[in-house]
Amino acid sequence: MGQLEVNLSGITIDNPIIPASGTFGYGIEYQRFYDINILGAFSCKGTTLNPRYGNPLPRIAECTSGMLNAVGLQNPGIDHVIDVELKELATFYHKKIFANVSGFSIDEYVQTAMRFDSCDIVGWIELNISCPNVKHGGLSFGTSPDMAAEVTNAVKSKIHKPLYVKLSPNVSDIATMAKAVENGGADGLVVGNTLTGARFDLATGKPILTNITGGLSGPALFPIALRCVYQCAKAVDIPIIGCGGITTAQDVIEMISAGASAVEVGAANLVDPYACYQLVQSLPQWLDHYNIESIQSLTGRSLHYGNE
C-alpha cells in the first residue's frame, strides 16, 4: 500500500489531505460526522485581530461546477478563537492545525500571528494575503510583490512556527508573487485561493451577491490551480500546498505531480461533509493502482516535461 506521510517544514503529517480555511470552521462541526484525527491537518477559519461580521447577505451564489462566496472573513476575533474554539478543539483533536491569519494592515497581521504562535495546537501559520472579498486588506497585499514580501517579512520576524503564505490566482504573474514571499522569508506557500466572479438575476439584472463580486471555488477552478502550482513550483524551493477544485483522489495525485507537497480541499467540504474523509480512505487504492510507493515521491514529477 502506498505511503501517505508527507513532511511540511519539519512537521510530518499522516497524509496530504488538509481541509481548507473557510470550509472547515474550527473543526468542531465536522467532528460530529467523523473523527477528524484521520486528516493530515486542517486550516482553521480565517481569523482577524478583532471580531468581524463579514459582508451583508446574500453572500453565496451557486454556479456551474462551483460556487461564489463573498462571506468577507466573518469570525469572532483572535481572543475568542484562542480562549474558546481552540480549547474545545483540543479536547478531541490531537494533531496540529494551520492557523489562518487575515488582516487589514501589517500590524494586524503581525499581532494576530504572534498570538497564534504561542498556541501548542498550531503547527503552522497560514498568512492569507489573497482574500478577494474584503476592502482595505487581504488581496491588496496579495497583488503587489513588494507588499507581499513586506508583510511576509514582518510576520516571519516575529514568529517561530513555519509561515505559509496563501497566494491569489487573481494576478498576472503568480510565480513572481511566489518568489517575492519566498524572499520575504516564507517557509511555504498555499496556492491558491478563489478567482473573482459575479452572478446576476435574470429577471431584474440585479447582482445576486450584495458585494457584487465573490470568490469562485469548486471543480471549475482545478485546471487553473494546477497551472498556478506548476508555475510556482518552477520558481521557488519551498514546499507548496495546492488548493483549488480538488474533489477526487486522482485530483490529489495530479496536484502533487504538478509540484505540491500536500493539498487543501475547500468547496468539496460544503457539498459533502465526508469529502476529506473519503479522500484519505481512497488515496492508497489509487496509489496502488498506479504502482506508486509513496505520495511524497510524486512531488513535482510533472516539472520535468516541457515549458509553461
Q: Does residue 160 belong to any structural domain of this protein?
A: yes
Amino acid (one-letter) located at 41: A
* Domain CATH for 228: 3.20.20.70
Backbone angles phi, psi at 91, to 5 degrees: -75, -20
Position 307 scores a pLDDT of: 61
The structural domain count of the chain equals: 1
Position 200 scores a pLDDT of: 97
Could you tell me which residues are beta bridge partners of residue 43? 98
Amino acid (one-letter) located at 251: D
One digit per residue, the tens of pLDDT, for the chain of length 308 reads 569 999 999 999 999 999 999 999 999 999 999 999 999 999 999 999 999 999 999 999 999 999 999 999 999 999 999 999 999 999 999 999 999 999 988 999 999 999 999 999 999 999 999 755 454 455 567 788 999 999 999 999 999 999 999 999 999 999 999 999 999 999 999 998 999 999 999 999 999 999 999 999 999 999 999 999 999 999 999 999 999 999 999 999 999 999 999 999 999 999 999 999 999 999 999 999 999 999 999 999 999 986 65
Backbone angles phi, psi at 10, to 5 degrees: 90, -5
Position 143 scores a pLDDT of: 83
Q: Does residue 1 belong to any structural domain of this protein?
A: no
C-alpha cell at 305: 516535461
Q: Does residue 179 belong to any structural domain of this protein?
A: yes
Burial of 57 (0-12, 13-18, 19+ CB in 10 A): exposed
Catalytic residue ranges: 131
Backbone angles phi, psi at 208, to 5 degrees: -70, -40
Q: Does residue 150 belong to any structural domain of this protein?
A: yes
Position 136 scores a pLDDT of: 46
Position 3 scores a pLDDT of: 94
Which range of residues forms the domain containing residue 168? 6-304
Q: For residue 177, how far is the Cα from the chain centroid?
A: 16
SS3 track for the chain: CCECCEEECCEEECCCEEECCCCCCCCCCHHHCCCHHHCCCCECCCECCCCECCCCCCCEEEECCEEEECCCCCECCHHHHHHHHHHHHCCCCCCCEEEEECCCCHHHHHHHHHHHHCCCCEEEEEEECCCCCCCCCCHHHHCCHHHHHHHHHHHHCCCCCCEEEEECCCCCCHHHHHHHHHHCCCCEEEECCCEEEECECCCCCCECCCCCEEEEECHHHHHHHHHHHHHHHHHCCCCEEEECCCCCHHHHHHHHHCCCCEEEECHHHHHCCCHHHHHHHHHHHHHHHCCCCEHHHHCCHHHHCCCC
d(CA 158, CA 259): 29
C-alpha cell at 200: 446576476
Position 142 scores a pLDDT of: 75
Q: Does residue 120 belong to any structural domain of this protein?
A: yes
Position 141 scores a pLDDT of: 76
Question: Do residues 148 and 186 touch, judged by C-beta distance below 8 A?
Answer: no
Q: Does residue 255 belong to any structural domain of this protein?
A: yes
Q: Does residue 159 belong to any structural domain of this protein?
A: yes
